[in-house]
Amino acid sequence: MLNDLKALVCKYNKLLPAHGLVTMTSGNVSGRHAASGLVVIKPSGVDFDDLKPEDMSVVDLDGNVVEGRLKPSVDTATHLYVYRHMPNVGSVIHTHSNYATAFAALGEPIPCCLTAIADEFGGPIPISAYARIGEEEIGREIVEKIGECPAILMKNHGVFTVGRSVPEAFKAAVMLEDVAKTVYIARSMGAPIEIPAEEVARAHKRYVEKYGQ
């Protein structure tokens, strides 16, 4: 089963540049193995095109390397903090997608002015305080600020998304960049109109309960 997760995490890491969510070697996807609690994550500084399942790093929740010849991502401490404090999360994804990160550079949340935002995210996309890279500071900000939303903008940095599975967290990352682009365009034309909170709640509940098969 761990080999299946390594293949899945490798696949979705390679999809990050394919969907325009990262450049060069930035960004990463991780997944938690439900049975063992071990975490599979992209190795640090490796080109996405070169990644293979056997290259994935496997660590425990304390950050000890269990499998892998390559060093795990420099964002590993962030991912592990989220996993330790959010037991329902099965995947964490970090990107620097342009439009969403533009809001992070401004230190602004993305307002809930589209039904797509209400459906997928259940409200505005929150913004964190500035946090230093490399230790647990970013993880603390995610846990404290993300709420029920599957995405958060890290001030002056980028994007983190979470999900019960790797595909779910990846969908949130793709959808976030799409709505961020639309809101950016809308702001260039005028002032986006926010959806009332009660309608956001109704739309999100309907989407969660009825959308899909």
Per-residue pLDDT, 135: 87
Per-residue pLDDT, 62: 96
Q: What is the dihedral of CA 162, 166, 78, 39, to 10 degrees?
A: 140
Say how far apart CA 14 and CA 20 lie, in whole Å: 11
Residues 6+ apart with CB under 8 A from 14: 48, 49, 51
Query: pTM, whole model, 2 decimals?
Result: 0.96
Instruction: Kindly give the confidence (pLDDT) of every residue in the chain, 213 residues in length, as a single tens digit, with 9 standing for 90 and above.
Output: 799 999 999 999 999 999 999 999 999 999 999 999 999 999 999 999 999 999 999 999 999 999 999 999 999 999 999 999 999 999 999 999 999 999 999 999 999 999 999 999 999 999 999 999 988 999 999 999 999 999 999 999 999 999 999 999 999 999 999 999 999 999 999 999 999 999 999 999 999 999 998
Per-residue pLDDT, 33: 97
Residues 6+ apart with CB under 8 A from 188: none
Per-residue pLDDT, 213: 86
